[in-house]
Amino acid sequence: MSSITLYHNPRCSKSRAALQLLQSRGVEPQIRLYLENPPSRNELEQLLTQLNIGPRELLRKGEDAYKENNLKDPAVSDSALIDAMLAHPKLIERPIAICGERAVIGRPPENVLELL
């Protein structure tokens, strides 16, 4: 099995739960503290491909930056949504587990077990 990378925010209970689930199964994922080490545009676009979703589905809609940048507006382009996530990494949903060419959003945290 390929190694698992976890886009992780230690302050997030769902992210901590996903990490604990993996560790309880003997998996020690590579941790990416994406708020401190945000993805590049290429990495974010690759992640969207791996998740098989559009940028709007990766947004955390409760964040202040979501409201302040009027990202709810359906006229906002995918490129502009990606720009917003690059400028405000808190907008990226978490946790995200990546294994090879596959990725899942850990909401609920049990979703990460699909990669095992």
* Residues known to be catalytic: 12
Give me the residues paired with residue 94 across strands: none
Q: Could you tell me the CA-to-CA distances from 35 to 86, 100, 107 in Å, in that order?
A: 10, 22, 18
| R_g (Cα) of the chain, nearest Å | 14
Cβ contacts of 23 within 8 Å, gap of 6 or more:
none
SS3 of 16, please?
helix
